[in-house]
Amino acid sequence: MAMQLAKGVNLTLIPSKKFKTLSIKIAFKSNLSLKKLTERSLLARILERNSRDYPSQVDLQKALAKLYGASFGTSVGRRGQVHSLYFNMRIVNEQFVQDPDLFEKALQFLKAVILRPNLGPEGFDRQTFEREKANLKDDLESIYDDKRLYAKLKLLDQFFTDPAQSSSLDGRLEDLDQLDNASLYQAYQGMLAQDEIDIVVLGDTNEEFLAKLFSDFKFQDRSRLDLDFYYHQDLPSFQRQEEVQDLIQAKLNLAYQTDVRYLDDQYFTLQVFNALFGGFPGSKLFLNVREKESLAYYASSNLDPFRGGLYVQAGIDQKEADRVIDLIKDQHQALIEGDFSQSSLNQAKAMLKNGLKQSEDSPAGLLNFSYLKQLLAKSITVEEWIEKINQVSAQDVKNLAQDIKLQSIFILRGADRWRK
């Protein structure tokens, strides 16, 4: 059930009596840019911290407590060439408490946070701006100390030709240093006026009631944006890079190009391939690299379905790096040759299907599943998805495995004094 509140402002109800709560997601969508990553990461933090109506974090938390312990938070996301800033809220359905105006009060809270920020002469409240900018700077600087994340970002920097794809979702230090209060406030005003807006509500309520309450936000018409939720790039030339730091456990990262995107016809086969390769305990990477050969402290693979990537991460003894790389390549080759049992195939499918079923058992899972279908204009139920998983054959996996190409390897090694 969807309707348009204004041009470029969409309201969707996902009716469900499964939960005793109402979940609300408000998404501001725009075309991705490198500068926007940093701006909106900081903006999300500031808008989550306080507002004109709730000038301190304590005031904001007290307001949530009065809403029967409602939860609220902001986040940012990147899908393909689209950046999103989310406002998320969950409240108990007013049917279960003695407060028939609870939902309206919750929306007034959201309106205050989104539309009435805590301002000062330069833009946002100076103390809030400086504190959150310092916090973001600390988080960006701490990436260097998180060796697993650092190595993954270095891999992506090799793999992607567009730095807006490879950079941290929180942005870059060099962009943060140049970001002042006035320019961030200008970016906020641009977001309100120009972004496409999706409002999604999950729960037991009705669309007319929602439309009446959300019309009070008075979002204005805006031009339709040309948003592409998939990212494509020409197949990059193979690269292998290494970096040396003071550490004992080396971080090995590999990037494969799949040329398959979320909910493409071959996406379900890709899910099964990844499950067999390194997506679950019982996969080839887990059993052969980690358990049988004891060459990795951890070894797994994961999909990047909006950008056509598949990544392998492993923590290894650095003197065994080349041996581990060869062994990982062997696991890929084994899938190309069909060297996996029917039992392994069935187990991979079972794990995927269990994950799908579990997504329906939480408000966040069900909301996100439904919202993605809306974004991509795809119509598929969990039952239909499960059936597509069931239909994947061993030959399908073999055929797809041949098209998956290793494109980048990054190794974060220890300094010479650590080497044996």
Helix (H, G, I), strand (E, B) or coil at 74: strand
Is the pLDDT at 420 greater than 80? The verdict is no
pLDDT tops 50 at residue 419: no
Distance CA 87, CA 106 (A): 12
The amino acid at 5: L
DSSP state of 98: T
Using alpha carbons, list the distances in angstroms from residue 126 to 36, 182, 382, 391: 21, 10, 47, 58
Tell me which residue of 407, 254, 236 sits closest to 321, measured CA to CA. 254
Over the stretch 247-280, which tens digit does the pLDDT of each residue have?
Answer: 989 999 999 999 999 999 999 999 999 999 999 9
* pLDDT tens digits, 20-62: 999 999 999 999 999 999 999 999 999 999 999 999 999 999 9
Q: Over pLDDT 70: what percentage of the chain?
A: 99
Dihedrals phi, psi of 150, to nearest 5 degrees: -60, -45
Question: Amino acid identity of 226?
Answer: D
Own/partner long-range contacts of 183-189 (Cβ < 8 Å, ≥24 apart): 184/39, 184/42, 184/43, 184/46, 184/123, 184/124, 184/129, 185/119, 185/122, 185/123, 185/124, 186/123, 187/36, 187/39, 187/40, 187/43, 188/43, 188/47, 188/117, 188/124
- CA atoms lying within 13 Å on the CB side of residue 83: 24
> Would the pTM of this model clear 0.75, i.e. be above it?
yes
d(CA 83, CA 76): 7
Q: Which of these, 267, 393, 391, 288, lies nearest to 333 by C-alpha position?
A: 288
Look up residue 238 and give its DSSP letter: P
Q: Give residue 418's pLDDT band: very low, low, confident or very high (50, 70, 90).
A: very low
> What domains appear along the chain, each with residue ranges and CATH number?
2-217 (3.30.830.10), 239-418 (3.30.830.10)
| Residue 235: per-residue pLDDT | 80
Max CA-CA distance within the chain? Answer: 70
Give every CB contact of residue 168 below 8 A, 6+ residues apart in sequence.
Answer: 37, 140, 143, 153
Q: How far is 138 from 98, CA to CA, in rounded Å?
A: 44
Q: Average the pLDDT over 226-230 and give the result.
A: 96
Rounded-to-integer distance, Cα 316 and Cα 294, Å: 9
- Written as six digits, the tokens of 374 are 């809306």
Measure the CA–CA gap between 300 and 289, rounded to whole angstroms.
10
pLDDT above 80: residue 377: yes
What pLDDT score does 379 carry?
Answer: 85
CA 5 to chain centre: 27
Per residue in 303-359, pLDDT (tens digit) is 999 999 999 999 999 899 999 999 999 999 999 999 999 999 999 999 999 999 998
